[in-house]
A and B are shown apart, each in its own frame.
Chain A
Amino acid sequence: IVLTQSPGTLSLSPGERATLSCRASQSVSGNSLVWYQQKPGQAPRLLIYGASTRATDIPDRFIAGGSGTDFTLTISGLEPEDFAMYYCQQYGGSEYTFGQGTKLEIK
């Protein structure tokens, strides 16, 4: 299953709302869609699992949803620490695959 993320880069200002998309080439089984955040020089950090459940200590400004082949991550009221790379990931066909990422940058 191929995951396509859009946009490639999103330029916004602190306080604005970001909407990130992840589209799968086939339906994602059991809604096992996951989102990670990655900052330069760091490992990815789990944000969302099961398509919509926030991981431990993730603020409630991160809201995710979707099903089947279309998934969205929304970040409301961007904080300076939210500007980073975001990747979606799924499990299917005995393999885990990741999207190519969306870069959220400060405008």
Chain B
Amino acid sequence: QVQLVQSGAEVKEPGASVKISCKASGYMFTAYHMHWVRQAPEQGPEWLGMVHPFNGGTNYRQKFQGRVTMTRDTSTGTVYMELSGLRSEDTAIYYCARELPPSLYFDFWGQGTQVTVSS
């Protein structure tokens, strides 16, 4: 069965970086785009960007350009999202979610990773 298993919760100080992993299994890893979506407390989801596991191509939301890096490791079926220059507003649950291109929707999500930015 399809699984997206994310790494555990993180607590970071302002200005630090965080790197979250998402390990995929149960489907053809290179056939699906992997997106990252975050959700701050009591807010709607926010899309950060995506990586295509086939070739490593990326597309980042303009708001996060220069602060976010998404990569993949095809040998382990894992994608990574690194966010730098953390501030309190980055406190949120971060989800990976897959998309079969060009469907433009996310049909399966990881369980989420809580990132807390606090001094």
Given contacts A43-B95, A96-B35, A98-B45, contact A49 B61 (CB under 8 A): no
Chain A residues near B108 (CB, 8 Å)? 46
- Within the complex, what minimum Cβ distance (angstroms) separates B68 from chain A? 13
Chain B residues near A13 (CB, 8 Å)? none
A82-107 vs B, CB cutoff 8 Å, 1 = contact: the mask equals 00000101010011111111000000
Docked CA distance A27–B35 (Å): 24
Majority SS of interface residues in chain A?
A: strand
Interface size class, chain A: 20 to 34
B28 at the interface (CB under 8 A from A): no
- Within the complex, what minimum Cβ distance (angstroms) separates A33 from chain B? 9
Chain A residues near B62 (CB, 8 Å)? 95
Can you give 12 A-B contacts (C-beta < 8 A)?
A32-B104, A34-B106, A43-B111, A44-B97, A46-B107, A49-B104, A49-B105, A87-B45, A89-B45, A96-B47, A100-B43, A101-B44
A35-54 vs B, CB cutoff 8 Å, 1 = contact: the mask equals 01000000111100100000
Nearest to A90 among chain B residues (CB) is B104
A55 at the interface (CB under 8 A from B): yes
Q: Using a Cβ–Cβ cut-off of 8 Å, how many residues does chain B contribute to the interface with A?
A: 22
B59 at the interface (CB under 8 A from A): yes
- Within the complex, what minimum Cβ distance (angstroms) separates A12 from chain B? 21
Given contacts A43-B111, A49-B103, contact A94 B59 (CB under 8 A): yes
B109 at the interface (CB under 8 A from A): yes
Interface residues of A in 4-61 (CB under 8 A from B): 30, 32, 34, 36, 43-46, 49, 55
CB pair A46 B106 closer than 8 Å: yes
- Within the complex, what minimum Cβ distance (angstroms) separates B15 from chain A? 27
Interface residues of B in 31-58 (CB under 8 A from A): 35, 37, 43-47
